[in-house]
Amino acid sequence: MSFTSFFDYTVNGLIIGNIYALLAVGLALIFGVSHLINFAHGSVYTVGAYIGWASITYLHTPLPVTIALVVIGSGALGMLIERVGLRPLQGSARIAPLLATIGISFVLDILVQLVFSPDPRSLPTQLPDWRLQIGTGTIGALDILIAGIGLASAAVLFGFLRFTKLGWAVRATAQDRDAAQQMGVDVDRVNQTVFAIAAALGGLSGLLVGMYYNNISPAMSFQATLKGVVATVVGGVGNVPGAIAGSLLLGLIESYGVAILGTPYRNLFAFALLLVILLWKPNGLFGRKRALPPEPLTGTFIAPSKPWHVPRSLLLALFAAAVALPLFDPSPYLLQTLTNAWLYGALALSLTLVAGTIGQISLGHAGLLAIGAYASSLLVLDLRLPVGTGIVLAGLLTSLIGTALIFPAFRLRGHYVSIATLGIGEIVALTILNWESLTHGPIGVSGIPPLSLFGRDASSNEALYWASFGAMVLLALLQWRLLRSHLGRTFRAVREDEVAARAYGVSPDRYKALAFGFGGFAAGVSGAFTAHMYSYINHETFGSQISILALTMVILGGLGNISGALLGAVALVSLPELFRVTAEYRMLIYGVALLLLIRFRPQGLLGTV
């Protein structure tokens, strides 16, 4: 790499780092005041980009007016999110607002898609196309604008926090919320102010990214959230100067990584850096060295009532009806829909064991599906193993690989566990994309043999239905037996109070590994079935939205509740399919359902166990 290239990549890294800083500073402010990772932040970033696009396209506004409209519109959206989506959850379990931000993100992303269409759009820069020569490199007008906005935003924020009464209130609330409230600080006003500032910065960063790459789309929100979270964790969660430094470091690492290995590895560097920081220095590079460990973020809500136990007679009746359904010659579409529901039911069983029983929120469970799907496909195609054998081995491999990947994160607590699983899920997807010699890279794996069991073809709609249903029932029975054993009781002891469990001689890491092992097997089997049913998979088949969908399922039914997980899977997969008019609104329905559950029925339909 020549000096000219090095200079250009350094400038590019610093510019991208400046944009990440606008995202990360907002996340740091919100965490400092509310102790909340705001997963809706990337959606506000997307809304800001589209406000800018609409202003330029329809109103033909000059750039300063466009920036002002983006800041005002995004800030107002941030205030609305805090007032309507999060303030009613004050006093709820700590997991509630975290999940609420995920639901809000779903709703905002789908609304943007419905209003503007899913198609990418070009966002003009409104700046002259000139380059300033500096030595052997160049800097453009947009580069200078982004750097100027980054520096100006940091200066204004510093002045606000240091010299204004409201800024003092923000700092006091971040330091000790209860003490600030006792001293007369209006913490609700502080929260709303912080969300407005964070959203304004996030929306502005979306506009700048759209101008820099001349492209925006509704799908840009998730990656923006992840990059903001990575930069915040690297610098130190809740540390505003650290968020800025972490963003610049992330931008430089990504830029140099692209220079050395190419564009496909850009995101892999970000998530590898995230895991290294989480495991080496969880408080961040610039966080307090002796910061108190975060409180455990348990995977369950505190249910106000006892769980509802489904009568055995009703379970047997439902089982008999499900088994007999294909005998009545239903439509192929109905059988395919229910087959998908059974496979999602196996995934929900996996997650309800991990999140509901052992208390570890996983936001990367789609990665386990991908491991199982690729493992079975490659075993059958390359090693010529029978399909049934490949599915079982895929479940075992997923169990081993998934547990090995997550095991180093078991020493983390609080929100860090969720962030780690999110990063691991993305690393799995990016590894599949880039490991072409094994996974065929972006081309994917095609010609996957159809399902066959005991040497007999099972690719018909009826056979697939019975096979997936049988696998789900078998996994449910195994998990039911597990939870009624001493091991299941130990799982729940770790969930309820890890410190007390450790005091009684229980090794939490060992039991977390066992829970992820059992859960990984169920997810791997589900992914393997899916691969043989579709006959083609690639790195996008098991996207991050599947992880959120699975979490919605187990919350709908009741965390830790086996019957509830299956009910949630059938409800969220079957109902939108049966009412085809809602097909394009499916993810919107999931987001709204998640928000309503968290607000009005946090223990789920059947209650937590």
pLDDT in tens, 250-285: 888 888 887 777 777 777 878 888 878 877 877 777
Does the residue 427 lie in any domain?
Answer: yes
Does the residue 102 lie in any domain?
Answer: yes
Based on the fold, state whether residues 507 and 378 are members of the same structural domain.
yes
Based on the fold, state whether residues 235 and 366 are members of the same structural domain.
no
The total of other beta-carbon atoms located within 10 Å of residue 353's CB is 31
Based on the fold, state whether residues 246 and 353 are members of the same structural domain.
no
Does the residue 561 lie in any domain?
Answer: no
Q: Which of 280, 305, 326 is the last residue of a domain?
A: 280
pLDDT tens digits for range 305-343: 577 778 889 889 999 999 999 888 788 888 888 999 999
CA–CA distance, 340 with 465 (Å, rounded to integer): 9
Does the residue 14 lie in any domain?
Answer: yes
What is the band of 454 on the pLDDT scale with cuts at 50, 70, 90?
A: confident
Q: Six-digit token pair at 332?
A: 């192929």
CA–CA distance, 105 with 300 (Å, rounded to integer): 21
Burial class (CB in 10 A: 0-12, 13-18, 19+), 292: exposed
Taking a C-beta distance cutoff of 8 angstroms, is the pair 240, 25 a contact?
yes
Q: Three-class SS of residue 138?
A: strand
Does the residue 389 lie in any domain?
Answer: yes
pTM: 0.84
Domain membership of residue 202 as a residue range: 3-280
Based on the fold, state whether residues 137 and 271 are members of the same structural domain.
yes
* Domain total in the chain: 2
pLDDT of 134 > 70? The answer is no
Based on the fold, state whether residues 360 and 268 are members of the same structural domain.
no
What pLDDT does residue 301 have?
46
pLDDT of 479 > 80? The answer is yes
The whole-chain average pLDDT of the chain stands at 84
Based on the fold, state whether residues 268 and 346 are members of the same structural domain.
no
Q: What is the CATH number of the domain that holds 30?
A: 1.10.3470
What's the N-to-C CA distance of the chain in angstroms? 58
Q: Which of 541, 562, 579 is the last residue of a domain?
A: 541
Based on the fold, state whether residues 254 and 358 are members of the same structural domain.
no
Does the residue 316 lie in any domain?
Answer: no
pLDDT tens digits for range 350-365: 999 988 888 888 888 9
CA angle 75-81-84, nearest 5°?
130
Tell me which DSSP letter residue 413 carries: -
Based on the fold, state whether residues 250 and 357 are members of the same structural domain.
no
Cα–Cα nearest to 85, from 170, 191, 187: 191
What pLDDT does residue 579 have?
52
pLDDT tens digits for range 170-224: 888 877 777 888 888 888 888 889 999 999 999 999 999 898 888 899 888 888 8
CA–CA distance, 348 with 238 (Å, rounded to integer): 33
Does the residue 285 lie in any domain?
Answer: no
Residue of higher predicted confidence among 301 and 508: 508
Does the residue 130 lie in any domain?
Answer: yes
